[in-house]
């Protein structure tokens, strides 16, 4: 009986600890990182840097997962070709790389009027019972004819405390794919059975596909095709929006 009581107490304590861990609230803060405030920019010329970086705290394990994903996204934006810079892993390293790349550029082309630039702003766009979505608006310029602006979302399962890939959002991926294609064709005034690329879109093998970016706001699920993904740069973004009532049946998590 004593052993049973001890076991019951231990199970109860583990349950309480687990609930406390799950219930620990996340807190988000935004930090402004600009050229004028960077120590490494006091030593020489610097590009234009204006980053509003969101950071999570509170639930330590989950916050670490979120912050790692945020940092990786910013690293990818600061490094022109991440595959060629495998040693650039942290946000600070990426900032230093961005600055050094700019200084090399200005040394090689001192008369070039163009300035390297990065602008990034992030915010929590949806915080539901099970799903967390963070939105990023980014702009980078590395010289050349024009810069590149994009929208990105990061999505997280609050129960599992993990980041979600696009496919992991769905319990019926193929069903949602059909719904999205119908929405796309209607929005672009394409026939239901015509070639998806008939008006100049660039879907691979003439087959409709979901974009790289899927996110959530307070009222909608958002699909974003950024420039070059399915159309030319001058065509800008293509955005599809769905009411929660349209998509809930296809999703794994409740909105």
pLDDT in tens, 134-193: 999 999 998 878 899 999 999 999 999 999 999 999 999 999 999 999 999 999 999 999
Residues with Cβ within 8 Å of 104's Cβ and at least 6 positions away in sequence, in order, are none
Determine if residue 200 is left, alpha or beta; phi over 0 gives left, psi from -120 to 50 gives alpha, anything else beta. Answer: left
Give me the pLDDT at residue 13, please: 54
Residue 41 CB neighbour total at 10 angstroms: 16
Place of tokens 């405030």: 37
Side-chain half-sphere CA neighbours of 126 within 13 A: 24
pTM: 0.87
Mean pLDDT across the stretch 65-85? 89
Q: Is 178 helix (H, G, I), strand (E, B) or coil?
A: helix
Mean pLDDT across the stretch 186-203? 95
Give the DSSP per-residue string, 52-72.
EEEEEESSHHHHHHHHHHHHH
């Amino acid at each position: 009986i004593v052993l049973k009581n001890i076991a019951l107490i231990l199970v109860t304590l583990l349950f309480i600890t687990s609930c406390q861990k799950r219930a620990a609230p996340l807190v988000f803060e935004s930090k402004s990182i600009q050229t004028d405030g960077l120590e490494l920019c006091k030593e020489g010329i610097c590009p234009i840097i204006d980053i509003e970086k969101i950071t999570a705290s509170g639930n330590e394990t989950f916050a670490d997962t979120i912050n790692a994903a945020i940092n990786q996204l910013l690293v990818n934006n600061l490094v022109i070709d991440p595959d060629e810079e495998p040693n650039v892993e942290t946000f600070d390293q990426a900032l230093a790389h961005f600055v050094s790349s700019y200084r090399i550029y200005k040394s090689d082309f001192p008369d070039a009027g163009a300035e390297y630039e990065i602008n990034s702003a992030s915010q929590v766009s949806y915080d539901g019972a099970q799903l967390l979505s963070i939105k990023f608006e980014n702009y980078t310029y590395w010289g050349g004819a024009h810069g590149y602006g994009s929208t990105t979302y990061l999505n997280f399962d609050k129960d599992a405390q993990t980041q979600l890939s696009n496919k992991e959002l769905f319990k019926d991926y193929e069903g949602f794919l059909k719904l999205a294609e119908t929405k796309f064709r209607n929005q672009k005034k394409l026939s239901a059975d015509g070639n998806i690329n008939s008006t100049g879109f660039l879907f691979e093998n003439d087959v409709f596909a979901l974009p790289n970016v899927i996110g959530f706001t307070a009222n909608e699920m958002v699909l974003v095709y950024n420039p070059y993904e399915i159309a030319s740069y001058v065509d800008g973004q293509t955005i599809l929006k769905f009411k929660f009532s349209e998509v809930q049946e296809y999703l794994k998590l409740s909105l």
